[in-house]
Structure 1
Amino acid sequence: GGGGDGGGGSTVTSTQCPVTSGSCASDGSSSWTNVTLTAGADGIFTGTLVTNQCSNHPYGRLVSGGVFSGMQSQIDCVSVTIPAAGFEETPVAAPIRGALAFSISGGVNVYGPFEAGFVEGQACTNGKGTCAGGVDVPVCESKLIADCGEENVNYGMLLDTCAGHANPYHYHKDLACDYAAGSTGDHSPLVAIALDGRGLYGLWEGNGSAPSNLDACNGHTGPVPAYTNDDGVSFPAQDNVYHYHTSETPPYTIGCYGPVASIAECKTLFPTCDVGFVDFCTASGSVHYDTDCPCFSQAGESYNTGVVSADCTVGEETEESEETETESGGESEADDDDEGMTGGDGLSSTEDGAAGHAHLDTLLVMLATALLAKN
């Protein structure tokens, strides 16, 4: 992500790549991968994938005048064992940072939805704009627009036209440049292999629409099509296997390694859920966000996906405030208990009240003494 969200922890350095160091070509021509995987009857792929982690398509953005501005990442040859250690038994948490899958056509890193965060001025040309780590990329972009004004956002720090960026180059959303992403009426092809050995497919189900029954991990059970890559590596069509889809809503790629029965079950896999809340303005309104919690929707329920209020001042930088909520999801006892509130003079309301009563008692004693002296 913007602050450098690191590489996957399931890779080891390899010397198998033809070139093992240097810059990746911005036109995608230096991408190299070697896939030696087999697909089991249960839909789980096993074997190894070696990649130099270069993008297999042009990396850059269209700038003013429609000119393509190329960018570069660095060659880093790694080998990945599938399934990766620690992810053989599911359900289990997917990596919050770093690779959680690798594209089948180019060996490119596929990340989850979250940015590592931007410090003030890092992603805006006017020196403003922040984004907390653990916020998904589109929401982060919307916050930067609210903070800085759209004309001041440095989109070179955000996703390119293929939904990737940074070094190592990695995707945060649908791998649209790796397949015909428009709905054709067919099930989308295999686009990546997850670290748990399951396949990640594109946006569409076999009926030409997005699948309607994805769990909070972004997976479901059903048929998948056969696949052959550019190097002639083939995998057969399979029926009734659990697999993942990319999506146009978060988590966009993979939330967790499933299956899971509910958002609640997904959240139990991540100690980062329900502990780090931030409140901020976006271009659409105010947001209350549970950072680094990739459990967004299942069975008609949603979490962490809505704008709380449209009442935000767009164009002025807003501060993020972290909150800690109780396990029940409500406010802490200190928030509910007026006796613990702090007054303007630094005293708690109980201390302030006690001081006021003591002052009144002193006045009454003085008044009584004066009356007795007069009489």
Structure 2
Amino acid sequence: MKIDKSNPWHWMALFASSCLLLLALPYRLTKPRRPKKAIVVFYGHTLNSHLRTLYTYWLNRPDVDVYFLSFDHKKTTRQLRSAGYRVLDGLSFRDLAKLTRASVFFSSHGLHHFVLLRMLTSMKFIDLFHSPLAYKGFDASDFKHLHPSDEVWVSSRGVRKMYIHKYGFDAGKVKVTGCARVEDIWRYTKQRKAIMKTHGLDPAKKTILVAPTWKQDNRHRSIVPFGLTLAEFMQCILSIAREDNIQVIFRAHLNSGDSEQFQNAKNIHIMPYSQYPNTEEFLAISDVLINDWSSIAMDFLVTNRPIVYLDVKPPFAKGFSAPPEYRAGAVVKDQQELVAALRQAVYQPVEYQEKYKNRIIQTKELAFGDTLDGKTLERCDHRLDLLLNR
């Protein structure tokens, strides 16, 4: 669950969960020093991105029990349990007692009140940022609460340097593993037809994914560019179609709730995160990505397919992590440039990628370095082994 600081219920839930957690802490004394199956816990807004990839991968490890931790009982907990996931409810004393006996705690968006476990136990805490590299700028103050983590897993040596020199992390804690969700994107690419049919999409059509970032630091920002309505923007994209051979997926960011008000139309599919949580599937099945400043562009790079960037004002208060020159494709300033870039991206993808080859190589190198070798999960396995045997 994403914490909404303006929502009184969220504060009440945090307080109630904190009290229950403190009451449950003595149960950690029942944890064997060398358990036959160590408890590994994942915590984030929901079970997505690297969290889901590693959760699914380690379900098959005989020496660990994996769980996702949630304290959104009415929504996230019930939905995930009904889908067969193993979930610890942060508002359940029984589940929190099990949590206290965990060996390793992975988080993607900080710890919130579960920082109590870091303060009062020997549990190992690992930070997994939800993207290999963001455009949004950060400084050390944004990550100060994560500095005490035992380890921070990042996607490349370039990102590691950024975490150390810009964000203030201890060099010994920042480990290069690669980007776990990449393994899912590659796996889903082989299942394209089946995934398309599951979501009611036509496998025979070219698929354009529109995935803008959310309002970020600019609350008045529109997620639709160039002063257009969503309908006008979609028709602009569809205008390049030859014989009705294009379909568009509009998929706003997790934090952009306003996308749910939009309606499907012919060849236009509104697929918000709240209803379609598996982002990796949509990256795997799309032929072209239209993006502004969303970090999803970094993930899409591993498909080796075209990206078109909307040149809109960046909604960041602290500048950039990856500067604007790390936009690995055409940067379009208006509808006319968008149509021209899309025509080449859709119908001449090889030529399009060659045109922006240098930028693609530069961006991939910063985001992934030498970790696109298919061995990311092996490296994560190795690091978990080390953590469990400390």
TM range, smaller chain = under 0.3
Considering fraction of residues, name the structure with more helix.
2
Instruction: Name the TM-score, length of structure 2 as normaliser.
Output: 0.25
Considering fraction of residues, name the structure with more strand.
1
